[in-house]
Structure 1
């Protein structure tokens, strides 16, 4: 089963972390990434740009139409995402709780119910 893990934050929270502490936290996260990538349980890990770098894209009259945003009501936004492939929800929770950031902020966990790239059951691939 695959799971999506989401970490939330904001620019103010990130800037409030002293440089030395931030460097150690990044090193711990890199070690976590390496450990679970080596076990085959971490399929992907991505850090996202800040809200000032994001945009909303729509289809307007058959063409892409983009605006700055999103204009969030919340004070935090998704800043990192991870994809796990594990045997159970319990194992996904164990890995999420082991994430260094989990001691500071909760890790949101979602089951992935559909894999658009998975071979079809009747496929020989």
Structure 2
């Protein structure tokens, strides 16, 4: 089954880190990503640009309303994600707890919805 591991963190934290801390952070994410690949659990992953690059679109009276910035203001922002394919929620939680993002932010684990008639993925 596929799960989306969404990494929420304070996007200004990166700028407050020393070069050494940044290098350690990058190395930790590289090692984590390599572990997911080795376990054949990784489907996809990406880091997101800062929220000042976001655009929010919604329909108001049937017409698109486009706003600069994220949908909501919060202490932590969606910074990136991993899409994984594992047997069950327990396995997804185990992978989420190993993610470096869990140490400096919050990880939300959400199962990917399978449309009726679609075959669910198998890990």
Q: The TM-score by the shorter chain falls in which range?
A: 0.7 to 0.9
Deviation at 1:101, TM superposition (A): 2.3
Paired residues for 1:27-106 under 5 Å = 27-58=27-58, 66-70=66-70, 72-106=72-106
RMSD: 2.3
Shift, 1:38, TM fit: 2.5
**How many aligned residue pairs are there?**
119
Structure 2 unaligned regions, length at least 5:
none
Of residues 12-21 and 24-33 in structure 1, the stretch that sits farther from structure 2 once superposed is 12-21
TM-score by length of 2: 0.81
Q: CA deviation at 1:115?
A: 5.8
Distance in 2, Cα, partners of 1:32 & 1:64: 39
Q: Deviations over 1:34-73 (max 9, x none)?
A: 1212221111111001011010124579876532012533
**For the residues of structure 1 that align with 2:65 and 2:38, how far apart are their CA atoms?**
41
Structure 1, gaps ≥5 residues long: none
Give distance in 2, aligned partners of 1:108 and 1:75. Answer: 15
TM-score norm. by structure 1 comes to 0.80
Bigger radius of gyration among the two: 1
SS in 2 for 1:79: strand
